[in-house]
Structure 1
Amino acid sequence: MSTTALRSPWTVWGVGLAVYVLAVFHRSSLGVAGLVATDRFGISAAQLATFTMLQLLVYAGMQIPVGLLVDRFGSRSVMLSGLVLMTVGQTVFAFAESYPLALVARAGVGMGDAMTFICLLRLVSSWFPLRRIPFVTQVTGTLGQTGAVAAAVPMTWALANLGWTRAYLVAGGVGIVLAVALLVVLHDTPAGRNLRGAPMSLASVRASLAASWRHPGTRLGFWMHFCTQFSATTMSLLWGYPFFVRGEEQSSAAAGLLLTLMVVTMMFSGPVLGWLVSVHPWHRSTVVLVIVSSIVAVWTVVLAWPGPAPFAVLVVLVLVTGVGGPASVIGFDVGRTSNPAHRLASATGIINQGGFYASLVMVVVIGLVLDWRTPGASTAYTPEAFRWAMSAQFPLWLLGLVQVWRYRGRARARVLQDREASLTG
């Protein structure tokens, strides 16, 4: 391959995307290994759920530190560090035989996972023309979901045929191959391999974060991400399958099909949304308001349905809810156009916290409500218990919608103010 080809935007993006797909694979790989993990570590269902909660907590908590690191050291160095952490974490997880060590290993994987997406978004902003950035960003999020698909069928086969240790060793070994590709191909910008920002003191870090958060566009992006993503994330990571089987009395095969449809919806709706917001950037918040209102409306129909909802209605539910995943990426585009390049990654980190903190809250609250509404110590959750539990989503949607409406007015006013200042200046 020629030097020109190695330095093309699509080649750089392709290597970065491969690392992100691997991160999504590692994030999702435990989903098909739950029963095996329960036997291997001798843990309860609640302890198994701790893996998911820890993953979300580590991922969300790392967003601002990672954003600051990217602004200071560039995408190449930070993404390489994340790849090393994921590889080491999966390797330790492969050999772990105790629950505490397994938790530490998954925390390492979560930290590495948190260091990929922000880096990739920064690369997209650095390598592609402005008109293409919204579309490429959405395609990035869409293709990243192939990691979740790969974590389903191939990982299930590997666990059954290779066993726990070898399956996770093979998964970790892919990181070594990608590290070599990253070192050879990936450059922070077309002008240089490694981008270095100004050294950051504690005072400068506070000032940078404060400046990002003060901008109404960053806050608008945060609340967009907050209210669009959490329902799909909560369903796909933990509670979707139990809800469909126990709450809606569907078969295991039907529940699996519904969750697969949701992932497929995420993959196909992303490019459409990317095209839409690139053509109508002034109406990005309107798109989010319409999508979230649609999600709320469909959930209302399902939860208010007397008895189990028909399968066709559940199909509509996963299709509409699935659009919320790529819709959350619109928040990053708002943050990109609201902040200067030197603090773009830290602003992205702030925005990326929104949906994951909301998801973390929902994972915990749904479990608590299910236990509250289920008699005794039984885990045989009833449809009525699931109606109560899933209704806990409505307060978060209300909060998010109010905040998006509130900050979109402020963000639009700021855009007009800046435009007027540039014309008069």
Structure 2
Amino acid sequence: MRRLERRMAVVLFALGIGIYFLVNIQRVAVPGQIFNELQRDFGMSASAVANLGSVFMYIYAATQLLVGLLVDKYGGMRVLIAGSSALSLGALLFPLAQSVPMLLFSRMLVGLGCGTAYLCMVKETDRLFSRNFAAVTGLVIFLGYSGGVVGTVPLVKLTALIGWRACLMTIAIAGILIQLAMMACWRFTRHPQIQKGRLSWKPYLTGFRNINNLRHVFAFAANFGIYYAVLTVLGKKFLEDVAGLSAGVAALTCSLMVVISAILNQATGLLCTYTGNLRRPYYRALNFFPLLALALLLLLLLSPGPSNQKGAWFVVAFLLLCITSGFSPVTNALAREINPPDATGVAVGILNFAAYVMVAIFANLSGFVLDLFRNHATTAADGAIIYPQSAYLTLFGLLFLTAIGTFWISLTMPETYGRNIYQGKRKVVKIFGRIKLVLQE
């Protein structure tokens, strides 16, 4: 019986990865990969299309805080099965939508369901594979991020063949089938014990008062936000509008970004294990690459000569940018090691919450900046709106300033060597020499 339960637990874990795979398709595909189709079919502005991404991210981010508490109390798989219901419903409604409000509502449901997946898988990894947490986390992220690859070139090609509605409906049906399989396997597995006591937000107060955690959260979240906003909202459109690349090549670039990120997440998890659980060198690296990538983008936009002749260099800049997302095993391990030992779900919940808030903020910023230059845009024969180079120069300049700040913060992070260094000591921090904050470390 125990052997059957163990096998079913592994199968259930694999099905959970399948849900996470579909989550990554949803995160990457809408709106970035069908930006022009949505703008054409619904007559939407750039800000309105970007809002489909940002409303998803705001809901996704807010969900992280609640899910962090729920997985610590109820276990990861219970929460994941419940969350998959919202994901399935929203995924079904989106391709059926006939109005912008319905698009927004369905994306909110998808964001709510998707928001459960990652933390649930992290919690299940901690429960089932605690001795190899970093390596297995890397594998989960690698397999999950593969969904992001499917959400780029394959999705663009399938959309060209059958339309975006039929394409997204196919993905929704796949999610429903996986959810039904999870519910069937759940009956044959040993369920984790539900922790006693009421849900409390107190662990989050500790996390938001922890100075090391605040440094970590802001630096990682801002850089991830930059990367993911480029990947899911404006990257493909920029490569078409300014770099002069075809839709297929632009989508392929986005695919490569996800592939590199997935491979690096697997590699960095293993490297951490074989380099004495070092954290700081990897952390500084993930904060350096956005700075390098954005500097290259600005240089290319400011240098003389037509931008459509620099397409290959723009691709290089995008691939440098995606490296920052390849260190999730490091950032998750660091979150565990600078926070109280019994608050893994809460620690990673805060990290994910901040990351996707930043994605939403940068998505809104992207739409806002592009709309500022709407009077200078042109309309292509297929109805797509082509924004001028100056719009992207302004946007990347703002992102570059953010990257400077995050790299500086990364230089102040302590080394943990894989050990928990949280002490709960009181520390007074001055802001601008006047405002005093009482924090912990």
- Give me the TM-score of the superposition, normalised by structure 1: 0.85
Give the structure 2 partner of residue 421 of structure 1.
Answer: none
Give the SS at the match of 2:15.
Answer: helix
Q: Deviations along 1:265-308, whole A, 9 cap, x unmatched?
A: 11222211111222336531321212322331232133123133
Task: Report deviation, 1:106.
Answer: 1.1
What corresponds to 1:386 in structure 2? 392
Which of these residues, 180, 195, 198, is aligned with residue 196 of structure 2? Answer: 198
State how 1:247-266 maps to structure 2 within 5 Å. 247-266=242-261
Relative distance call for 1:245 and 1:142 in structure 2 (3 A) is same
Post-superposition offset of 1:120: 0.3
- Deviation of 1:158 (Å): 5.3
Q: Does 1:356 align with 2:362?
A: no
* 1:272-421 pair list within 5 angstroms: 272-280=267-275, 283-305=278-300, 306-307=303-304, 308=307, 310-340=310-340, 342-372=342-372, 380-408=386-414, 415=420
Query: Structure 1: how far apart are the matches of 2:28 and 2:315?
Result: 22
Amino acid in the other structure paired with 2:53: T
CA distance in 1, matches of 2:74, 2:421: 33
Identity among equivalent pairs (%) = 21
Offset, 1:217? 5.0
Per-residue deviation, 1:95: 2.6
Contact 1:73 1:197 in 2 (8 A): yes
The structural deviation recorded for 1:311 is: 4.2
SS at match of 2:412: helix
Runs of 4+ with >6 A deviation: none
**C-alpha separation in 1, matches of 2:321 and 2:60:** 22
Provide the secondary structure at the position in 1 that maps to 2:25: helix
Q: How many residues align?
A: 409
Q: Does 1:14 align with 2:14?
A: yes
What's the secondary structure of 1:21's corresponding residue? helix
The alpha-carbon deviation at position 38 of structure 1 amounts to 3.9
Partners of 1:222 and 1:331 within 8 A in 2 = no
Which 5+ residue runs of structure 2 have no aligned equivalent? Answer: 379-384, 424-441
The corresponding residue for 1:77 is 78
For 1:87 and 1:314, how far apart are their aligned partners in 2? 36
Alignment map for 1:46-195 (pairs within 5 Å): 46-130=47-131, 132-156=132-156, 159=159, 166-185=166-185, 192-195=190-193
- In the superposition, relative to structure 1, how do residues 354 and 129 fare at CA in structure 2: closer, same or farther (>3 Å)? same
Cα distance between partner residues in 2 of 1:325 and 1:27:
14
- Provide, for residues 306-344 of structure 1, a one-character-per-residue CA deviation record: whole Å limited to 9, x for no partner: 133744433432332111112244221111234456421
Amino acid at match of 1:125: D
Q: 1:17, CA displacement in angstroms?
A: 0.7
Alpha-carbon distance in 1 for matches of 2:160, 2:250: 22
**Do the aligned partners of 1:261 and 1:318 also contact (CA within 8 Å) in 2?**
no
Partner of 2:436: none
What CA deviation, in whole Å up to 9, does each residue of 1:63-112 have, x standing for no partner? 11111121222212210111100111122223321221221111001110
What code does the residue aligned with 2:325 have? G
Name stretches of at least 5 consecutive residues in structure 1 with no aligned partner: 419-425
